[in-house]
Amino acid sequence: MNYKIIGFLFLGLILSTCKGQSIKNDGKLIGGPCADCEALLDYKLIDLVLKSVDSLPGYSETNPKLKISGKVYKSDGKTPAENVILYIYHTNRDSIYEPSKNPIGWERRHGKNRGWLKTNSKGEYTFYTFRPAPYPLARESEHIHMYVQEPDKIPYYIDNYMFLDDPTLQQEDFNSLKKRGGSGLINLTEENGILIGHRDIILGLNIPHYDD
């Protein structure tokens, strides 16, 4: 099976559908349309126990390695937000959202390089992964997708993580930033061969709210 071709097909689907909401529950619809935000709920399909620190598939064998940590705050920007679920996914080093041999749920589109976290009592989170590659066809810079689910709320997306040292960053990337949840532009430093980044998230910041 040619995963490179399949990956580019998935990429096109993601680019065309990442702004359409399709899930409902008894909470509030936050963040507006987002067709694939329900992917955050895939952890229930695999009975995953969520932790505040975890590694994405491919971390141990892929370089350059990346560690990103931060805190999630409530809307006041000061109070740590506990038990917030974070869903992360990104391309592999070939710019592909490559699924595993037996993909589950949205892995078919988002690929196997994905993971989930739940903030601790201090609002803290940390994930280990590797640096993704930019889209070669869409000319989009290196980025990591992040979706958020507050307790008793519907999942929503925030600004992608992007890297200030990324040579593919363009002015249009800066122009497109909405700072949903706060800025996703991060500065990377290197410690013991691992690229280190930090991003704090403020729930609800620059994110529209809708009644269900």
18-59 residue pLDDT tens: 444 433 444 556 666 788 999 999 999 999 999 999 999 999
Query: CATH number for the domain including 74?
Result: 2.60.130.10
57-97 residue pLDDT tens: 999 999 999 999 999 999 999 999 999 999 999 999 999 99
The number of distinct structural domains making up the chain is 1
Does the pLDDT value for residue 99 go beyond 60?
yes
User: Which residues, 6 or more positions from 68, have their beta carbon under 8 angstroms from its beta carbon?
Assistant: 126, 127, 129, 144, 161, 186, 196, 197, 198, 199
Residues of the domain holding 143: 3-210
Does the pLDDT value for residue 17 go beyond 90?
no
